[in-house]
Amino acid sequence: MNCADVTADEFVVGLERVGTAGALDFTIMSGDPAPPIRGDNTWVVQVSSMSGGVVGAPVSGAEISVTPFMPAHQHGAGKTVKVEPMQDAGQYKLSPVNLWMPGVWETTIDATSASGTDTVVFSFCIPS
């Protein structure tokens, strides 16, 4: 797969996106490896509250689910992503994010917290 020919996010530390409901903000703090590769990946994501379009405090104690999905082939990853709260407030370790074949993967993160419920999608191309 030639990733130059597709539309996807560029994986960079600090990639930030406001959730679809505007209640939470999601930032990729790290990736191992970075950028993501074919196979198992580990990401650390910061979840923060949103108020009036402004990023607020980190959100601890959120319930988070992560779903990698390959839209071109209509299948998931086949492995459950474990979510672990980190020592830093609002940070969560996601592992394994299994992107097991070349192509574009959409990883949906759903979060529920006292600050609200929200969803974000990060899309990355895994080269062949």
CATH number, domain at 39?
Answer: 2.60.40
3 phi and psi angles, rounded to 5 deg = -70, -15
What's the pLDDT at 7?
83
- Residue 6 pLDDT grade (very low, low, confident, very high; cuts 50, 70, 90): confident
Closest CA to 47 of 99, 123, 124, 116: 116
Q: Which domain range does residue 14 map to? A: 3-113
**Predicted model pTM:** 0.95
CB atoms within 10 A of CB 7: 7
Q: Residues 26-57: pLDDT tens digits?
A: 999 999 999 999 999 999 999 999 999 999 99
Residue 2 has pLDDT above 90, yes or no: no
- Domain count of the fold of the chain: 1
Q: Tell me, yes or no, whether 12 lies in a domain.
A: yes
> Interior CA angle at 87 toward 43 and 105, to 5°?
15
Q: Tell me, yes or no, whether 127 lies in a domain.
A: no
